[in-house]
Structure 1
Amino acid sequence: MITLRVLVDQMIAPVPGGIGRYTEELTRQLIATAPADCFVEGIVSSSSSDQYEYVERTLPGLSGLYKTTLARRELAAAWQLGMTTSPGPGLIHATGLLAPLRRHDLADGTQLAVTVHDVLAWTHPEALTPTTVAWTKAMLKRARKHADAVVVPSHAVADQLSEIADFGDRVRVIGGAVASGLRLPTDYLVSGTLSSGVAATEALGLPAEYILAAGTLEPRKAITALITALGLPGAPDLPLIVLGPDSWGELDIASVADEAGLAPGRVRAMTGLSDEELAVVISRASVFVFPSLEEGFSTPIIQAFHFGTPVVHSDAPANVEAAGDAGFVVERQDAAGYPERLAAAVSRVLGDAELARRLSIAGSDRARAFSWRDSAERVWQLHADL
């Protein structure tokens, strides 16, 4: 009998974020695809009984839940210093860098695999807190010494990581997929006709036509460039919905839109959506724009593809890798001219029905290349290879 112990602690973090969802989806499929006589156990920091119950309820089929003696903050600090507390020998798969990295022997059946989702701590440290940057760099150093495998979500991250630390042949590219709950309500017709789903759609206050984007006002996400683009002469005169918070630091969307010369209310942020609400918002958009200058894995693009929404995206390596040939690519270079190029690309897609149709079909086909089941099977194969 073999047990794969998965760090599922991010699921109960104060802000689970994308890694929390990644952890949930991957672990669920690790359970579903477990080979004969193999089981999946969760590892969590010392937490409340309600949090333990949430993990067990969300991940039915876990063979057990190992609870460390330290709470999350203290556990992260202890593991950073090499003061490990873990279930002992065996297979451990961390869905981030939070892992009991220590000297061990593969011969006794112990394996340690960690996941590096991006290298922002090196390329865009301003996007993180100083504490997070320091912790991430320290844990990567420990991973270089003690990890048997390092999972990254894209070849783009693999290339970046190779410039930071030499992991040799220990790096494996295993991407993510669309969340299993991201689907339209059963009473919503994809054709755009609403039955009893009209109530939910009206509650969201969606306009008849709109441009959709995802991100924050953090410079790396380039949402400001997109808003600026919509204020240029000849730009599409459609409202913009941004999936994300309406402010970042001292910046807020209303002020950025005003400076771009856009009418009040033309740009709107949306947060806290349920999976079904998010599905409706994405599926009804005329075009999805992802101008981000750097990503680790471009999940928003895959989500838009999933619903056949035409996609315009930057030429950031991870974006191009995720989209294949299914998106309309905009060059990032020459930052001063980026808004003009974004405006031209969006205008092109919105003004050419045949192009939009081709992008929609290509995107739907491309989305099928990403599967959590496939990701889980590749994780099992990784540990079998070790």
Structure 2
Amino acid sequence: MTTLRLIVDQIVAPVPGALGRYTRDLARAIVRAAPQGCDVEGVVSSSLPSDYERVLADVPGLADLYKTSLARRELAAAWQLGLTTSPGGGMIHGTSLFAPLRKHDRRSGDQVVVTVHDVLAWSHPEALSAASVTWQKGMLKRARKHADAVVVPTHALADRLSLVADFGDRVRVIGTAPRSGLVVGADADERAARLHLPAQYLVVPGTLEPRRGLVDVLAALGRTGVPEIPLVVLGPESWGDQHLVTVAEEHGVAATRVQHFDELDAADLAVVLSRATAFVAPNHDDASGTALIEAFSLGTPVVHSDCPAHLEIAAGAGLSVAVGVGGADGFADRLAAAVTRVVEDRELASRLAIAGSDRARAFSWQEAGERVWQLHADL
């Protein structure tokens, strides 16, 4: 029996977040795609029994669960320094840089693959804590020395990663897909009423951090002649000392037009996305693209920035808006024009919805799971 040892610790992290969802959905796909004679063992840091139960419930079909002797924080520090042998040899796949990167002999069957989701530690270190920046840079340095392959979700990120570290031909692109459970159910009307969704609205993910583009959207909606459509923000109400409602009003957008959700379960998110007039993805750079895939999968018209990841994911299925140098005021003007077109031209919106639905079929967790197995077989 050949065993793939998959690091699933993010599922039980204090804040699992997007990486936790990625780990869960990819793990399920890897288990489903396991070739005959192969199985999957989860690897998790020393945790509470309830955490182990959660992993086994979230990823049914795991052959076993390897529990390290160190808790997550201590294990992260140990792996950064290469001080622990946990979880031993064999085929190891990390869903992030959190992996035991050390000297090994691939000829004996030992191999380690890690995943890089962004290069924020280099491009926008101010977006992370100092400790996180140090850890990510240290782990990428170890990956350059010891990883047999590095997985990234887009070719755009592969290009950016090449500017940070030279991995040669070890980089593999394995895409993501919509989170599990992102389905509109029979109770959609009840959920929409509970969430107080208006009849028409735009959806924007992100924070007030400048690079995320939310401020540009608010500026666009405050322009003269732009439809006074409500805005639903998928993200926190504040960033630093800036507050969503205050920034909106500064740009001429009434507080009554703005609604936000910190975190939604998959069923609620499906309702919010599916009923939106349009989904706006205004990131200036470093976007994962998964949010676009989710909007596409629900037939929502998408307006997106021209950052490389968005262009790659959309492949013409969305309405692209050029950011421009530094995301100057011109970006807000161009967003205003794009939003106005989609809101007022229902034929255009319908074409975008159809194109997005077609594009979404290019992404599946099943394919991602199969490609992970193929990668390890190639190694």
Normalised by the length of structure 1, the TM-score is 0.96
Q: Which residue of 1 aligns with 2:36?
A: 36
Kept after mapping to 2: 8 A contact 1:119/1:296: no
Give the AA of the match of 1:11: I
Deviation at 1:217, TM superposition (A): 1.1
**Cα distance in 2 between the residues matched to 1:265 and 1:47:** 44
Query: Partner amino acid for 1:301?
Result: L
What's the counterpart of residue 92 of structure 2?
92
1:243 equivalenced with 2:234 (yes/no): yes
Matches for 1:271-286 after TM superposition, within 5 Å: 271-286=262-277
1:167 aligns with 2:147: no
Moved over 3 A (4+): none
Q: Residues 24-103 of structure 1: matches in 2 within 5 Å?
A: 24-103=24-103
**Secondary structure of residue in 1 paired with 2:4:** strand
Partner of 1:265: 256
- Contact 1:308–1:364 at 8 Å: present in 2 too? yes
How far, CA to CA, are the matches of 2:100 and 2:231 in structure 1?
44
Question: Which residue identity is paired with 1:350?
Answer: V
What SS class does the counterpart of residue 100 from structure 1 fall into? Answer: coil
Report the CA distance shift for 1:296/1:233 in structure 2 as closer, same or farther (over 3 A). Answer: closer
Checking the alignment, whether the CA contact within 8 Å between 1:184 and 1:276 is kept in structure 2 is yes
SS at match of 1:70: coil
Task: Write the distance in 2 (CA, Å) between the matches of 1:150 and 1:287.
Answer: 34
Which letter maps to 1:239? P
State how far apart, in whole Å, the 1-side matches of 2:277 and 2:37 are. Answer: 48
Q: Which residue of 2 aligns with 1:350?
A: 343
Alpha-carbon RMSD:
0.9
**Amino acid in the other structure paired with 2:226:** A
Task: Indicate conservation of the 8 Å contact 2:287/2:307, yes or no.
Answer: no
Report if the CA contact (8 A) 1:154-1:321 is conserved: yes
The structural deviation recorded for 1:32 is 0.5
Residue number among 351, 356, 377 corresponding to 2:370 in the alignment: 377
Report deviation, 1:89. Answer: 1.8
Counterpart Cα distance in 1 of 2:229 and 2:4 = 50
Count, aligned residues: 377
Structure 1: runs of 5+ lacking an equivalent: 189-196
Q: Secondary structure at the match of 1:213?
A: strand
Mapped partners of 1:64, 1:282: distance in 2: 37
Partner-residue secondary structure (3-state), 1:60: coil
TM-score (norm 2): 0.98
What is the aligned-residue identity percentage? Answer: 59
| Other-structure match for 2:285 | 294
Deviation at 1:199, TM superposition (A): 2.5
2:156 and 2:309 in contact (8 A); partners too: yes
Which letter maps to 1:16?
A: P
Correspondent of 2:308 among 311, 317, 320: 317
| Structure 2, unpaired ranges of 5+ | none
Q: Distance in 2 between matches of 1:234 and 1:381?
A: 53
Aligned partner of 2:295 in structure 1 is 304
Q: What's the offset of the Cα at 1:296?
A: 4.3
Measured after TM superposition, the shift of residue 201 of structure 1 is 1.6
In structure 2, C-alpha distance between the alignment counterparts of 1:355 and 1:261, rounded to whole Å: 27
